[in-house]
Structure formats: structure tokens, C-alpha cells
Structure 1
Amino acid sequence: MRKEAFKLWLETYGKHGVEPMSKRPIDDALSRCNRIEKGLAVDLDIEYEQDRGESILALLEYTKDDKNVGKEAPKGLFFKQGADLYNGMASLRSAVKKYFEFYTATK
């Protein structure tokens, strides 16, 4: 992951690809992408190059049905006990989608 370039892009274009994001959402996106890379032992740039990120996005998909049946998070991703996995996984997936938006825009 190109952290500094991603941060700069978020500061400039991060919100809908046309306007700056504020500091807290930028920090959250960076933290979540870093968490995914470390937890799943992946590089988001490589993931995008392999299949436009489809496999990592599929791994991060967590539906309400998954929640209802008590499906666990992917191995390597940890959440606090009692955390809402549905919302947590959605936040992680959203950050990765934002990174891929950046990757496409700056390729």
C-alpha cells in the first residue's frame, strides 16, 4: 500500500473522488487498510493488480445472513468481543474500496 500517496489523495479527492476528506475519516481509512494488510498478510496494490481487488473484496463481504448465522470474520481479522461484525466488516470493505478508487485514479 502506498500510504503517503493514499493519504495525500484522500486529503485532496477522497470524498466522492472530487473533494477533500477530513482528518478523522482519513486516519480511519489508513488504519483499516493497514489492519487488513497486516491481518491478512496481503498488499493491496498486489491484490488490485491480480484481479482488480475482487478476491479481497469478496473475502471482506459480510452479509446480514452471515451475521444471523454467526459467521466469523476471516482468519487474521480480529474484533473486540461483542463488536458488530456486520458493521465492522462493512467499514473494512469500504476502506479497501476507497483504496482501490485511489489506485485506479493514480495508476
Structure 2
Amino acid sequence: MHVMRVTADLRVADIEAAKSFYTDYLGLATEEFNMGWVARFTSPDSGANVQLVTRDATAPEDPVISIHVDDVEGAYEDAQRLGYEIVHPLTTESWGVRRFFVRAPDGNVINIVYHPS
């Protein structure tokens, strides 16, 4: 598995209410997507980004970060082989990503995700 990008997933009560802080104040002005329950805001200059999440649409828990990888199947197999708790099984979501959630030994839930080209 090769990590391509790491994105913070911040829990917010209301994406629209939180949006101006991240866009106007922090300058993460590009809204890459907004699905109502999750939105990603990115700096047009540096590519730095953050995802705001109200409640994950399909998983039982919310992740704290999303790890974008090139081989999600291999990452899933490795997590199982190593005995890590799978919180959300390997799934191709209706919006096109393939992902699973794994609990790190410290208790944090991590979204391991692959975005097809």
C-alpha cells in the first residue's frame, strides 16, 4: 500500500454554518465536493485540504482522518491479517469511492479510501 494523501475529517454539526471559517478565514476556498453530510475544502495555492463531516452516510462511526491509498484491497487484507478491527467493511460506495474503516490501536477510526481515476 502506498499512501497518496492524508485528509483530516473534522466533525461539525452543520457544514454550511462552518463553511465560512474554513473558506473565508483559512482560505480553503475551493469546494471540491459537498454531499450534504461531507464536504472537502482545499487551498487553491497549496492543495492543503480538510473534510467537514456531520455524520458518515454509510458507516457506523465517523473517521478522524482519511488515508487515500493506491491499493485499498491490499490495505484491507493487511489490516485483517494484522488483526485490526474493521469498523466498516471494504465497500464500493454509491458516490464512487472504494473504502473501509479500521480502528487504530489508539482507538481512532481511520478511513482507508481509494478514488478511481
Which TM class, normalised by the smaller chain length? 0.3 to 0.5
Greater relative CO, 1 or 2 (CA 8 Å, sep 6+): 1
TM-score by length of structure 2 reads 0.31
Which structure carries more helix by proportion? 1
